[in-house]
Amino acid sequence: MNNNGEQQTATAGSARIFDHIVSSLLPTRHGEFRIHVYQPVGETVEHVAIVKGDLKDQERVLVRVHSECLTGDVLGSMRCDCGEQLDAALAKISSAGQGVVVYLRGHEGRGIGLANKIRAYQLQDQGRDTVEANLDLGLPVDIRDYQVAAHILSDLGIKSICLMTNNPRKMMKLAEYGVNVIERVPVLTAHTPHNISYLRTKQEKLGHMLDFE
Ligand SMILES: Nc1nc2c(ncn2[C@@H]2O[C@H](COP(=O)(O)OP(=O)(O)OP(=O)(O)O)[C@@H](O)[C@H]2O)c(=O)[nH]1
Ligand SMILES: [Zn+2]
């Protein structure tokens, strides 16, 4: 990316991987950020980095790698913890004065897409848990890839990160893609009657560090 936020192409060897399309200021209720749009080469999906401060060559940058969740992030659904986690991450970055939320589109429903996630909700309404529902639909439990997130963090010039997550797999995957993950920062949200069994399943079957008894 250049300093004017104009389009530039990232390469690995001679192969183009993704383009930094554009950036601008983004005032939010959590303060002022800069929004950057990235697009993997040959794809139409547009990923976003919401940045606070100049991250170039910085160590221990607060980072949230957030999977798109239309129902939780935009509509305020209480079936999951996504919306609250996104808000908490932006608030924490804002008060730290530095950090980034990498918002991954195409990750909806842990990669199965919105319609399939809603199909999974139908099955959960009939008593299946979040993992069983995907399997009943003949779909994988989690097909998210984090390579583009690693490229975005590298494009921003970040040296090492403190990752805001409860998901150890996310830390591991980012590290495999070359991200220097120094520390995990928990992103714990309130339990409600709507999300308690969902959170419990994430802890028991997906290994999330949620600290239920
Ligand atoms: N298939 C499916 N996806 C869901 C369900 N509830 C939320 N999601 C999706 O799950 C993704 C978020 O993943 P989570 O497992 O909640 O959390 P995580 O990103 O792995 O880990 P954290 O960093 O701790 O938030 C979002 O893309 C949501 O759309 C569900 O019941 N079924
Ligand atoms: Zn969600």
pTM (2 d.p.): 0.94
Query: CATH number, domain at 75?
Result: 3.40.50.10990
Render pLDDT for 181-212 as a digit per residue (tens, 0 to 9).
Answer: 999 999 988 888 888 988 899 899 998 898 76
10 inside domain: no
What's the pLDDT tens digit per position in 93-110?
999 999 999 999 999 999
Cα-based distances in Å from 48 to 26, 136, 184:
12, 32, 22
Burial letters 157-193, b for 16+ CB under 10 A, else e: ebeebbbbbbbeebbebbeebebebeebeebebeeee
Domain residues for the domain of 85 are 53-107+144-206
Look at residue 141 and tell me whether its pLDDT is greater than 60. Answer: yes
Q: How far is the CA of 67 from the centre of ligand 1 (A)?
A: 7
CA of 158 to the centre of ligand 2 (A): 27
ipTM of the complex: 0.98
Count the domains in the chain: 1
DSSP assignment of 141-163, as one string? S-----HHHHHHHHHTT---EEE
Catalytic residue among 34, 60, 142, 184: 142
**Residue 98: inside a domain:** yes
